[in-house]
Amino acid sequence: MRLDRKDLIALEDLSRAEIELILDTSLSFREISQREVKKVPILRGKTVVNLFFEPSTRTRASFELAEKRLSADSLSVSASHSSVEKGESLIDTVRNIHAMRIDFLVIRHSSSGAARCLADRLDSSIVNAGDGFHEHPTQGLLDLFTIKERLGRIGGLRVLIVGDILHSRVARSDIWGLTKLGAEVAVCGPPTLIPPGLDELGVAAHHNLDEALVGADAVIVLRLQKERHTENFLPSLREYSALFGLTAERLRRTKREIIVLHPGPMNRGVEIAQEVADGPNSVILDQVTNGVAVRMAVIYLLAGGESSGAAHAH
């Protein structure tokens, strides 16, 4: 089966079958990352540019490794070292990069809609690595992959997303992906950090973490996106942490084996306690490991690869 798409902009756009195709293909690529020689020649001759207008550790390194493991030629450009600093517009920067005859552009940008805007104007494939508050589709996919890997399924699970939902592109991608695959999704946070309209997506909103954790199979903890806070959304960090911080005691009280995810970067002691981040319920580093395989699968499928071809890659 093939993914009949030029771009990956949002999980909202994908069908359940397309998401399942990416997850199944990721499984084959995860096996490649466990080999001694972690490289296959399937994208030899293809060129990928990673253009990051916002800071990133995980996503950028993960895309770079995914591209190298597929044998693509890749290079990364960060905004602070680009001609954007001299006043060049996004579209001019990208048109110039595109003129070098690239095949893929991976973009992170602070404006929601930046990736879609480029996808509509260019014939190279655009992969959204996070656009403003909108979506972070590869993070959503790696979260789905990690939950399925640990719990064996997505359909029928209860997944709780805790924290700054309002400013989180990860929450939006997770909600689309999880609900399309049949999970029951709930969110929890202070009323000021929960956007309106979630009930239309079938997502329940809670403001009491202990109550929200009842019956959960997985909890996705989010960082407070202070860089996106344009006003005072919280009385204090101390109060936020007391009410919404995930502690080992809170997990113990549920009497359930809830897996804990976090997209990173974490603020230990704020949204997540040290002992939870490093504890037995945490799958946070598994998410990072799986991210490389998921990004290999996305680029491979957008290049026209077949799911069966990934399984036979040497």
Residues identified as active-site: 58-59, 86, 108, 136
Torsion of CA 226, 227, 231, 234, to 10 degrees: 0
Of 7 and 174, the one with the shorter C-beta distance to ligand CP is 174
The nearest distance, CB 55 to ligand CP, in angstroms, is 6
Near ligand CP by CB under 6 A: residue from 50, 139, 146, 282: 139
Quote the least distance from Cβ 84 to ligand CP, whole Å. Answer: 19
Least distance CB 138 / ligand CP (angstroms) = 9
Q: Considering the complex, what minimum distance in angstroms separates the CB of residue 45 from ligand CP?
A: 27
Cross-strand bridge partners of residue 75? 49
- Cis geometry, peptide bond prior to residue 191 (ω within 30 degrees of 0): no
Distance (Å) of CA 204 to CA 62, 171, 223, 224:
32, 13, 20, 20
Could you say whether residue 177 binds ligand CP (CB under 6 A)? no
263 interacts with ligand CP by CB under 6 A: yes
User: How many whole angstroms separate alpha carbon 303 and alpha carbon 175?
Assistant: 26
Q: Go through 94-110 and write b for each residue having 16 or more CB atoms within 10 A of its CB, e for each that does not.
A: beebbeeebbbbbbbbe
Of residues 60 and 180, the one with the C-beta less far from ligand CP: 60
Binding region for ligand CP (CB under 6 A) out of 117-125, 244-252, 262-270, 300-308: 262-270
Single out the residue of 46, 45, 82, 50 nearest to residue 65, CA to CA: 50
Query: Count residues contacting ligand CP (CB under 6 A)?
Result: 11
SS3 state of residue 174? helix
Asked if 265 interacts with ligand CP (CB under 6 A), we say yes
Q: In the range 29-68, which residues lie near ligand CP by CB under 6 A? A: 56-60
Asked whether 91 and 60 are in contact (CB, 8 A), the reply is: no
- Closer Cβ to ligand CP, 28 or 108, answer by number: 108
Report in angstroms how near the CB of residue 299 gets to ligand CP at its nearest. Answer: 17
Q: Considering Cα of 117, then 68, then 177, then 57, what sign does the dihedral take?
A: negative
Q: Kindly tell me which of 46 and 223 has the beta carbon lying closer to ligand CP.
A: 223
Nearest-approach distance from CB 62 to ligand CP, in angstroms:
8
Other Cβ atoms less than 10 A from the Cβ of 217: the count is 20
Name which of 30 and 262 has its Cβ closer to ligand CP.
262
Rg, C-alpha atoms of the chain: 19
Give the residue with the Cβ less far from ligand CP, 57 or 308. 57
Would you give the binding string for ligand CP spanning residues 112-131, x where CB under 6 A is met?
A: ------------------x-
Residue 225 near residue 168 (C-beta atoms within 8 A) = yes
Interface residues toward ligand CP, by CB under 6 A: 56-60, 130, 136, 139, 263-265
